[in-house]
């Protein structure tokens, strides 16, 4: 079971005619994601696959109109025009940072409650506006600066090499991650430990993400298909400490295993992206590790130990 997307989730893709958006829309369809339409201003009626300059590939899930496969994906000038012909639940945004706020607001104004944006470099003040607007609408925005969301074997919104079976295997472990580079490595260790993934949520590496780790915990708590949660964290911000607070308060009761990157980073230095910076005496990897351990989570010293920690947390014998 997924906490965000499954094969019944109807998705509209902003930017499906671009090279990047087209490439990943094709793979979203091939995995089984129910992509019903694309949105690109000025390209209504375009062939999404041809405009993206990639082969059409295998047919995807059938849309509501009966058009099938990426080469038949209908494209509209605006979301309003797409929703006049198709019903949708979610929006996937492959749009540049400077257009992200407008695209998110268009999706929110249309009543969509699930939005994923991969854009890296959304202006800080606009990221704040996006988060505030989504919360006021009771909607959830994942990103920016994320690989997206995936339920392996079922559906995804984003950019995951789901065909790598040693990484993206269906199972009963939830994953929340801030890091793009560590996601494949740590998730591969989940699978190597004898597990699979129920839902993987990339909250993104920006300093103001649309959704924070702790805000996803109630969904994982309620999900009967998730037995434990793995957190892939890093220095900077307070998201991992917020998870520790939830554990200490008893509001999340399933086992938590974490790997925190950036233990040896110098204080006050930004490491890789806007979210990975320590400030004001907080946010260091060591602070996060201590907070999580004090709250009862198991923290792996290195990625290769994540599977072993999961087996320990779930009361299973070591491999």
Alpha carbon distance 253, 259 (integer Å): 19
273 is catalytic: yes
Alpha carbon distance 99, 254 (integer Å): 39
Candidates 136, 120, 138, 37; CA nearest to 86 is 37
Q: Which residues pair with 156 in a beta bridge?
A: 150
Candidates 203, 204, 199, 147; CA nearest to 168 is 199
Residues 93, 69: contact at Cβ < 8 Å?
A: no
Helix (H, G, I), strand (E, B) or coil at 186: helix
94 Rama class: left (phi>0) / alpha (psi -120 to 50) / beta: beta
Query: Pick the catalytic residue: 27, 77, 125, 273?
Result: 273
Catalytic site positions:
273
């Amino acid at each position: 079971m997924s906490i965000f997307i499954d094969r019944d989730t109807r998705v509209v893709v902003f930017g499906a005619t671009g090279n990047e958006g087209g490439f990943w829309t094709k793979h979203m369809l091939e995995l089984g994601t129910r992509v019903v339409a694309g949105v690109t201003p000025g390209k209504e009626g375009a062939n999404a696959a041809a405009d993206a300059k990639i082969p059409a590939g295998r047919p995807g899930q059938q849309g509501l109109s009966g058009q099938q496969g990426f080469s038949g994906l209908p494209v509209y000038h605006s979301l309003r025009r797409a929703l006049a012909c198709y019903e949708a639940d979610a929006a996937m945004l492959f749009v540049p940072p400077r257009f992200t706020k407008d695209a998110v607001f268009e999706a929110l104004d249309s009543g969509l409650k699930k939005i994923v944006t991969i854009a890296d470099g959304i202006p800080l003040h606009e990221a704040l506006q996006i988060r505030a607007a989504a919360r006021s609408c009771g909607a959830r925005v994942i990103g920016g600066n994320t690989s997206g969301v995936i339920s392996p074997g079922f559906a995804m919104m984003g950019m995951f090499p789901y065909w790598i079976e040693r990484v993206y295997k269906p199972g009963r472990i939830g994953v929340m991650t801030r890091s793009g580079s560590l996601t494949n490595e740590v998730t591969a260790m989940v699978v190597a430990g004898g597990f699979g993934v129920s839902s993987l949520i990339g909250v993104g590496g920006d300093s103001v993400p649309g959704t924070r780790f702790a805000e996803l915990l109630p969904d994982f708590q309620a999900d009967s298909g998730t037995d434990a949660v793995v957190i892939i964290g890093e220095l900077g911000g307070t998201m991992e400490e917020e998870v520790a607070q939830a554990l200490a308060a008893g509001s999340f009761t399933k086992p938590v295993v974490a790997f925190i990157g950036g233990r040896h980073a110098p204080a006050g230095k930004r490491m890789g992206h806007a979210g990975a910076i320590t400030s004001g005496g907080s946010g260091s990897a060591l602070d996060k590790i201590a907070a999580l351990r004090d709250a009862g989570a198991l923290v792996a010293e290195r990625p290769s130990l994540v599977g072993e920690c999961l087996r320990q947390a779930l009361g299973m014998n070591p491999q």
